[in-house]
Amino acid sequence: MKEPHERHIVALGGGGFSDEPDNPLLDDYILSLTGKSTPKVCFVPTASGDSPVYVTRFGESFPPARAEAVPLALFHRTIEDLRAFVLSQDVVYVGGGNTVNMLAVWRAHGLDTILRAAWEAGVILCGTSAGALCWFEGGTTDSMGTGLAPLHDGLGFLPGSFCPHYDSELERRPTYRKFVADGLPGGYAADDGVGLHFQGTQLVEAVSSRPAAQAFQVKQVVVAQMRLIG
């Protein structure tokens, strides 16, 4: 019987090459999981509308000596066989931006089901902000307007919810706690500079590129009420 592949997801609350171009610790951690000296890394910039600036920054952060890096554009798609391309990678790295729009575009192209197949085949999935939130059932997003809103239709590879930017955006912490109290599945929150490493669906390690950055588990607290009689 064929042995199952290890499944890895690394969800960054913020940081990586997007926010810390001079601090490669989180990205180095992700690359180390491949066990290869120059792994194949695919960058998916859908959430930013395939921003050319973002793609250029990715290329500069992953030069040939570090990785075999290539972007996957969907707004001006040139790759016909998405499944073969994605499954040939060692790492799929998803950038930040608008989570809601990104998920809609992925589903239109069938990339959502391809990413699940890649995960199950052992391709390491990772990303920052929108690229971290997407792997969970839901979480907090600013994709719907000027404020934060609950997201309920993430890919669901990981159970529960996620909140990025827990320390850098003032409303993230109280709003996420309120959403969970109101019924959003509990889950995890990560400061900028923190990565949550899941093997399968279990959190196995939290790593940080900043001394004071932290990760949190957020759960709904149910308070039992007593009925007085007599």
| Domain assignment present for 227 | no
Which of 80, 85, 48, 50 lies closest to 68 in space, CA to CA? 85
CA dihedral 174, 162, 151, 157 (to 10 degrees): -170
Determine, yes or no, domain membership for 230.
no
Q: For residue 3, is it within any domain?
A: no
Residue 225 inside a domain? The answer is: no
Is residue 5 predicted with pLDDT exceeding 90? no
Q: Is 226 part of any domain?
A: no
Q: What is the pLDDT of residues 56-89, one digit of tens each?
A: 999 999 999 999 999 999 999 999 999 999 999 9
Reported pTM: 0.94
Please check whether residue 228 lies inside any domain of the structure.
no
Active site residue 76: no
Is the pLDDT confidence value at 1 over 50? no
For residue 16, the cross-strand partners are: none
pLDDT band, very low/low/confident/very high, at 2 (cuts 50, 70, 90): very low
Answer for the pair 12, 195: CB distance below 8 angstroms, yes or no: yes
Identify the pLDDT of residue 122.
97
pLDDT tens per residue, range 93-114: 999 999 999 999 999 999 999 9
What range does the domain containing 139 cover?
A: 8-218
pLDDT in tens, 201-229: 999 999 999 999 999 999 986 555 555 56
Catalytic residue (choose from 165, 197, 208, 209):
165
Of the residues 18, 61, 129, 209, which is catalytic?
Answer: 129
- Rounded to the nearest integer, the mean pLDDT of the chain is 94
Tell me, yes or no, whether 43 lies in a domain.
Answer: yes
Distance linking the first and last C-alpha atoms of the chain = 65
CATH number at residue 208: 3.40.50.880
Sign, CA dihedral 48-50-56-58, equals: positive
Torsion angle of the four alpha carbons 141, 144, 148, 149, in this order, in degrees rounded to the nearest 10:
-80
Q: Could you tell me if residue 2 is inside a domain?
A: no
DSSP state of 10: E
pLDDT in tens, 17-64: 999 999 999 999 999 999 999 999 999 999 999 999 999 999 999 999
- Judged against a pLDDT cut of 80, whether residue 180 lies above it is answered with yes
Number of domains in the chain: 1
Q: Is 18 a catalytic residue?
A: no
The torsion of the CA quartet 94, 98, 104, 107, rounded to 10 degrees, works out to 10
